Chain A
């Protein structure tokens, strides 16, 4: 079974540009999460989708970040315009059932560098 995949693995952009990150969850997983790790800090929650609906977006830092999950399959996270402090590793995770152990399976992350 394929795991969570993310694209691209690395992205280097200049301040003010736009970047879109993509996450493909494990097939059949209704729950999809975005996290990020800014250098030297903890991995922090950004938001949670259940199918195509945003269940919790309390971790989204500001309105420069837009996440979508059209059709309840893959998700995109757009940063527009990017700022220097957005640099970090963005992880996506998926899980199958909210009522079970809710084990979240993580992708390899996208390393974003904003220059």
Chain B
């Protein structure tokens, strides 16, 4: 059974600081997704990582994937208040094209 562990569960950070969210998964996967959720809203797709060594960046967020270590990171650079949200990683089991297995989510709070 695929297990996805995400940490930390909660992250309070000051504006301007850098931090990293980690996502570990237990079995082979060739697709990893990062989503953002604002309270009461949809899960918004941030990144799709398809191969080992993939790195994608959008604004202050950068995601990377190491399939050998079964690890993805979401790095936040110079955080701003607008980034406050819950971030989820989700993994698609290799050889399947259906269900995503989600991490527990990281609730990020950026303080002024």
Q: Do A and B interact with each other, yes or no?
A: yes
**Docked-complex contact B97 and A98, CB < 8 angstroms:** yes
Q: How far is A108 from B88 in the complex, measured between Cα atoms in Å?
A: 15
Query: Which residue of B has the minimal Cβ distance to A102?
Result: B97
**Docked-complex contact A33 and B98, CB < 8 angstroms:** yes
Is B25 an interface residue when CB atoms closer than 8 A count as contact? Answer: no
Size range of the interface on A?
A: 20 to 34
Interface with B: A39-47, A65-73, A79-87, which one? A39-47
How many inter-chain residue pairs (CB < 8 Å) link A and B?
A: 60
Q: How far is A93 from B4 in the complex, measured between Cα atoms in Å?
A: 20
Q: How far is A48 from B97 in the complex, measured between Cα atoms in Å?
A: 10
Contact A33/B88 with A105-B45, A106-B35, A106-B42 known, Cβ cut-off 8 Å: no
Is A14 an interface residue when CB atoms closer than 8 A count as contact? Answer: no
Chain A residue contacts of B50, Cβ below 8 A: 101
**Docked-complex contact A59 and B99, CB < 8 angstroms:** yes
Query: Which residue of A has the minimal Cβ distance to B92?
Result: A102
Chain A residue contacts of B96, Cβ below 8 A: 56
* B75-109 vs A, Cβ < 8 Å mask (1 yes, 0 no): 00000000000001010100011111111110000
**Docked-complex contact B45 and A103, CB < 8 angstroms:** yes
**Docked-complex contact B48 and A45, CB < 8 angstroms:** no
Q: How far is A105 from B41 in the complex, measured between Cα atoms in Å?
A: 12
Which A-B residue pairs are the 9 nearest by beta carbons? A45-B99, A106-B43, A98-B97, A48-B98, A43-B102, A108-B42, A56-B98, A106-B42, A101-B48
Give chain A's interface residues, CB within 8 Å of chain B. Answer: 3-4, 31, 33, 35, 41-45, 48, 55-56, 58-59, 91, 93, 98-99, 101-109
23 example contacts (A-B, Cβ-Cβ < 8 A) are as follows A35-B100, A35-B102, A42-B4, A43-B90, A44-B102, A45-B98, A48-B98, A48-B99, A55-B98, A56-B98, A58-B99, A59-B99, A91-B43, A98-B97, A99-B97, A101-B31, A101-B50, A102-B92, A102-B97, A103-B45, A105-B42, A106-B42, A108-B41
